[in-house]
Copies of this chain bind each other. A is one copy, B any other.
Amino acid sequence: MSVQSTLPNQPETQISDSFTPERIQKILEVALLTAQEPLPITELRKLFNHELSTAVLSKFLHRIREKWNDSGIELVTVASGWRFQSSTDMQPYLDRLTPPKTPRYSRAVLETLAIIAYRQPVTRGDIEEIRGVSVSSMVLKTLTTRGWIETVGHRNAPGKPALFATTEHFLNALNLRTLDELPPLEEMKSLVESGGESQQLPLQQPAAPDY
């Protein structure tokens, strides 16, 4: 049972809510420029006390995207919503200010990430099976700490191994909206070329992942 705030006047009542198109665009821009996280349209509707529809806001967002085109800043949609970010051609300049802080990941980390991204949910054992080597805890910790993978459950098998999947944050970081936008898996060319016997191998491509 929480006590109501006794504060006299909430800001709500003080906003004059005459939303001209210019004003709507301005408010959207300020919200997106100051947001800490990508903002979904449902969230952006709060700016206008839900008075504007998703469709209307979507039109405005596209207009804003146009406006910022070629400014070195772009408005993009990622998994969790809309956000402003610098365009990639600006990064070399930004790196002059702050030396790149993100580590380049080792092959072990990248391969583990790829397996989790494309085959999720997978256990550590699954990853080891595919890579043919054991996966160090450090690798999984690196990805977990970055917020790119998380445990989504446990397989009902001896030892109840954790099942890993990629996070929404991972999609955001790579500018993706859904896992479908990951680069498609390549068909691998047969391992045994033109050898007589080898062609008889009943090779199948790995089952297409179902996401």
* A90-123 interface (Cβ within 8 A of B): 90-97, 102, 104-107, 110
* A21-61 interface (Cβ within 8 A of B): 26-27, 29-31, 33-35, 39, 43, 46-47, 49
Q: Roughly how many angstroms separate A26 CA and B175 CA in the complex, as a whole number?
A: 22
Number of interface residues of A (CB under 8 A): 51
Contact B26 A110 (CB under 8 A): no
Give this chain's copy count. 2
Q: Roughly how many angstroms separate A86 CA and B15 CA in the complex, as a whole number?
A: 16
| CB closest chain-B residue, reference A34 | B86
**List of B residues within 8 angstroms of A49 by Cβ:** 96
**List of B residues within 8 angstroms of A46 by Cβ:** 96-97
Q: Roughly how many angstroms separate A90 CA and B175 CA in the complex, as a whole number?
A: 28
Interface assignment of A132: CB less than 8 Å from any CB of chain B: no
Interface assignment of A191: CB less than 8 Å from any CB of chain B: no
Q: Roughly how many angstroms separate A6 CA and B174 CA in the complex, as a whole number?
A: 10
Contact B3 A110 (CB under 8 A): yes
6 contacts between A and B (CB under 8 A): A9-B91, A9-B92, A12-B96, A26-B72, A27-B72, A30-B94
Complex A-B, nearest 4 residue pairs according to Cβ-Cβ distance, in ascending order: A30-B72, A11-B92, A26-B72, A30-B90
